[in-house]
Structure formats: C-alpha cells, structure tokens
Amino acid sequence: MSVEKLALENFLLDIDCLNELSPWIDDINIFDILKIAKAEIRHSNFLAWLLNPNESHSFRERILKGVICHVIKYNSVYIDRAFNIIDAMLWNYGDFEIYREKHNIDVLIISDEKKVLICIENKVFSSEGNEQSTRYRQKLDEIYPEHRKLFIYLTPSGDEAIDNDNWISLSYKELIEIIETNMTLLKHSLSADEQIFTENYIKGVKRHIMDDMKLQEICSKIYFKHKQALDLIFENKPDIRDLIYTALVERLEKEASTTGNVVFDKNSSSKTIIRFNTPYSFQVFPKLIEPRKK
C-alpha cells in the first residue's frame, strides 16, 4: 500500500475527529443562509437597529449607552471633557435619532436637544481610503458646529483611523462583549426571536469578522494529525472549471440528441471555449461553402 493511500485510510478510520467541528458545520445561521455574513452594509444595518433606542427590540438604549460609556471610559485621555460617564449614564436616549449613510456616514447618531453627535465608521472588509476619517470629521464639524462630537472607528481588530487624534478605535470584540453582556442581563426579557436573531448575528461576527480561536485550535489539531491526507485531498480537489465544463457539455449533448435545438461537437470544445450552434444561428450566419483562403 502506498504512503498516500495509507494516509487517506488512516484519516477515514479517524473520521470521528471531525465531530469537533459540528458546532460550526451543523449550526444554522440566518446571516449565512442569506449570504450576507460578509456584507459590510448589512452589518451596519443590523448595528444601527441594535443601537436605536426607539426600535422594536427589548434592548432599548442599552447597546447605545454601553458603546458610548465604553468608549469614554477607556479613552478618557483622548476624549473632549464635554463627554463624561455621568452624563452618558443619565441621558434620556429617547431623542437620539439613528441614521444610515447620512452625509455618507455608516451610522450617524444625533440628539439635537442635547447637541450631541456620535459618528460610527464601520470598516469590516475594507480599509480607509483617501483620508476618509479626516474628511468626514471636517464635514460634520461644518454641518453641526454646535454639537459635541464623538467619532468612533469600528474595525475587527480595533485599528486606528488615519485621523487618529480625533477618532476612537473600537474593535468588534469589544462591541460583541457589550451586546453579550446586555443579552445576559435581559435573558428573561428578550423574546425568542430577539434571542435567536441576535445570537445569529454574534456567531456570524465571530466566524467571519473576528478570529474564532476555538475553531482555529480544532482545525489546527485535525490538520497536523492528518496533514499528509488533507494535503493530498487539497491537491486533488475538483477544479471548478472542470465541474462547469462537464455540466455544460452534458446539457448541450442532451439538447443535441433529444431536441435538435443545439448543434454541438464536443471535439471542437475545451474547458476555456465551448463551441455550439443552433438552427437559428445557421440562418443568420450560414456555413461557409468553401474554406476561407489564407
């Protein structure tokens, strides 16, 4: 028995090692089903919903207050003294308005009554370009000159904005901890739908945005235990072009033999070019009677 075959056999005999991945493989997640887990705009939409104290969820102002208090608490040296924990804890958040893409800002939170503005720029799968944070700050300073402002730069790892003297970094790990803390506090108040939907969001963020350390640990253990077999599988995995070519050829051959709506010769095709005709195409472009002269 060859070394490669023995490695594959040992892997198949130890296939139960993959059971540890069941929580990730078998988990049903609405964000994955809808193919929006990696869509930055969808994350901003859900975040705006969670932050909105007037939305139809039981969190009320808790997530918004949690984010503001967290940012002030851990960045007090860099934040204007106009913002303080006491004010943020005692504010009535009912007059805060949450906007998506207002003035091109991902999430803009405004209280005209308190003259307060919180700007959240959400960078999930893209980075800042052309001094975006500086331009956004200058624009908001111009439009809302009398408002106290808090600029928050949200990224997977808490990266700094280019205009880092004025923007406070917030990581998705910190954001998720705020959400999870409030879910625990409200575990008897949240509806089943709120619980499921928010848990799905948290799992999606951990899997696609944050580094899921437990998942990495399990995958590394399985890979190094069966490295030779897995490398062999990766090297011989199906080529997507082969799969597409095979499917198209099967369909064209079936049409050619059953309906006559397609004229197809497999020998004149390849994975990169598939040649076929139809009776109508022959009417528009008749066959050449004589070969073209060179």
Whether residue 174 contacts residue 152, with contact meaning beta carbons closer than 8 Å, is answered with no
- pLDDT range class, residue 134, cuts 50, 70, 90: very high
- Has residue 151 got a pLDDT over 90? yes
pLDDT of 103 reads 92
DSSP the chain: --HHHHHHHHHHHTGGGGGGGHHHHS---HHHHTT-TT-HHHHHHHHHHHH-TTSSSTTTTHHHHHHHHHHHHHTTTTS-TT--HHHHHH--GGG-EEEESGGG-SEEEEETTTTEEEEEEE-SS----TTHHHHHHHHHHHH-TTSEEEEEEEETT-PPPTTTTTEEEEEHHHHHHHHHHHHHHTTTTS-HHHHHHHHHHHHHHHHHTS--HHHHHHHHHHHHHSHHHHHHHHHTSPPHHHHHHHHHHHHHHHHHHHT---EE-GGG--SS---EE-HHHHHHSPPPSSPPP-
Whether residue 114 contacts residue 94, with contact meaning beta carbons closer than 8 Å, is answered with no
pLDDT of 262 reads 85
pLDDT tens, residue by residue, 18-54: 777 676 565 666 666 555 555 566 778 888 999 999 9
Is the model more confident about 88 or about 214?
88
Closest CA to 71 of 158, 180, 161: 158
- pLDDT range class, residue 183, cuts 50, 70, 90: very high
- pLDDT range class, residue 179, cuts 50, 70, 90: very high
pLDDT of 46 reads 86
- Has residue 176 got a pLDDT over 60? yes
pLDDT of 99 reads 94
- Has residue 56 got a pLDDT over 80? yes
What's the distance, Cα to Cα, between the start and end of the chain in Å?
Answer: 57
pLDDT of 211 reads 60
- Has residue 292 got a pLDDT over 80? no
pLDDT of 174 reads 93
- Which two three-digit tokens encode residue 205? 């963020």
